Amino acid sequence: MTTGRPFKVPEMALRVCVIPLAVASLWRMATNRQADDAYGEIHFSNLSGFKYLVVINAITAAYSVVSILLSSFKSLARYDWIVFVLDQAAAYLLLTSCSAAAEVVYLAREGDREVSWGEVCSYFGRFCSRATVSVALQAGALLCFVVLSLVSAFRVFSRFDAPGADVDCSESESKQVDEQRKY
């Protein structure tokens, strides 16, 4: 069993890095709008993939702040399972929202001829550029949470011995285990 927290400093650094990345991505997308005389105005809220990106960035930034504040309490070490689950959830939420927003950006840039969708970035270039920057910032936050998920998994699962490593058991315990394996 491992004692202490061998990755505490890198873990805190990653949690701190997530905050500006998520907030910058959120801000860049939430303030993203552009008007065109011929085609009207486009705003991030017109596209559900972009709204999802904004919401998930807000959630992950808030979770990062709370997890940094709570990490200073040593009594919370027994809640490593909760941190592990929440880190996994944050990573998966970031992955899904980043994928959804990247798909919207791709369709805006390239269109889809099979369903007769034309590209729109030639008309709304600034909007597309800002959306691309927002997705890239969120991808940075996602990478941080992927590493955080690995660190929290290591911390949780290093508390347990490897399966079959019970070499300290007595002979009677060994016989009981053998009897249980028969059934």
- pLDDT tens profile 32-49: 999 887 888 989 999 999
Give the domain range for residue 27.
Answer: 8-182
- pLDDT tens profile 131-168: 999 999 999 999 999 999 999 888 888 776 666 655 55
Q: What angle in degrees, to the nearest 10, is found between the helix axes of 125-157 and 48-70?
A: 40
Question: What's the whole-number mean pLDDT along residues 16-39?
Answer: 93
pLDDT at 1 over 60: no
DSSP character at residue 47: S
Q: Does an H or E element contain 36, and which?
A: strand 33-36
Residue 43: inside a domain, yes or no? Answer: yes
| Nearest residue to 135 (alpha-carbon basis) of 32, 13, 40 | 32
Cα separation, 170 vs 17, in Å, equals 49
CA 54-133-55 angle, to 5 degrees, is 5
| Structural domains counted in the chain | 1
| Largest pairwise CA distance in the chain | 85
Residue 165: inside a domain, yes or no? Answer: yes
With beta carbons less than 8 A apart as the criterion, state whether 94 and 74 touch.
Answer: no
- pLDDT tens profile 82-120: 889 999 999 999 999 999 999 999 999 998 888 878 888
Residue 2: inside a domain, yes or no? Answer: no
Would you call 175 exposed, middle or buried from its count of C-beta atoms within 10 A (0-12, 13-18, 19+)?
Answer: exposed
- Residue 2: band (very low, low, confident or very high) from pLDDT cuts 50, 70, 90: very low
pLDDT at 26 over 60: yes
Residue 3: inside a domain, yes or no? Answer: no
